[in-house]
Structure 1
Amino acid sequence: MLAFNPGWNQSAQNVDLFDDVSAIKEKMVAAGHVIEHEQGGEEGPASFVVVDPDGNPILFEQHR
């Protein structure tokens, strides 16, 4: 599984400016991607999973 963590850098340290996971999810849905699993609210900690054309799950997970 490939994971993206908005709000964190490569060392899991907070970054100041980032796209909220809910905004990323909206863009993915608008582009025609199916959300396989989601958890959380409209902002703050949340996550969702999409599956790429090869069947690999991609996790978008925001911790703050």
Structure 2
Amino acid sequence: MKLGAFSVSLTVKDIHKSKAFYEKLGFQTFGGVIDDSWVIMKNENCTIGLFQGMFEKNILTFNPGWNQNAENLDSFTDIRDLQKQLKEDGVQLLTEADDSSTGVAHFTLEDPDGNVILVDQHVNRP
């Protein structure tokens, strides 16, 4: 199963303090809008998202259709196909993508320890 680019989305208490901390670890701003309480940071192939007040727990994030630099891939497994395969394998989803849609969509699930996983596609079907 090819899930796409991976990042960790962290819920933070103070976006400015967290950004400054991760900059000390060598991360640089890659995207986002800090005034809207979110920023994406990279250190080589490691990507983290810092989000203040947007969700309760940290989230593992996968982006079908993107490489680690958020560049569109020519070929990838569409999110609806990933969702179908997971459901056929008996994986319970918290939220689902609309099977009749195309393009941008997402679904969420939890691992056995309650860690939330977001599969979030930002591009159209290949």
Above 0.5 in TM-score?
yes
> Could you tell me which residue of structure 1 aligns to residue 14 of structure 2?
none
**Equivalent residue letter for 1:21:** I
1:55 is matched with 114
Q: For 2:68, which of 5, 10, 34 is the aligned residue?
A: 10
Query: What is the distance in 1 between the residues matched to 2:101 and 2:80?
Result: 6
Task: Flag the structure with more relative contact order, 1 or 2, with Cα contacts below 8 A and sequence separation at least 6.
Answer: 1
In the comparison of the two structures, how many residue pairs are matched? Answer: 64
SS of residue in 1 equivalent to 2:96:
strand
Among all aligned residue pairs of Structure 1 and Structure 2, give the percentage whose two residues are the same amino acid: 42
Of 42, 45, 60, the residue aligned with 2:104 is 45
Return the offset for 1:42: 3.3
More displaced 10-residue stretch of structure 1: 34-43 or 50-59: 34-43
RMSD: 1.2
Deviation at 1:39, TM superposition (A): 4.2
* Consecutive unaligned residues in structure 2, runs of 5 or more: 1-58
Find the structure with the greater CA-based Rg: 2
Q: 2:79 touches 2:119 (CA, 8 Å); kept in 1?
A: yes
Structure 1 residue runs of 4+, over 6 Å off?
none
Measure, in 1, the Cα distance between the counterparts of 2:97 and 2:76.
19
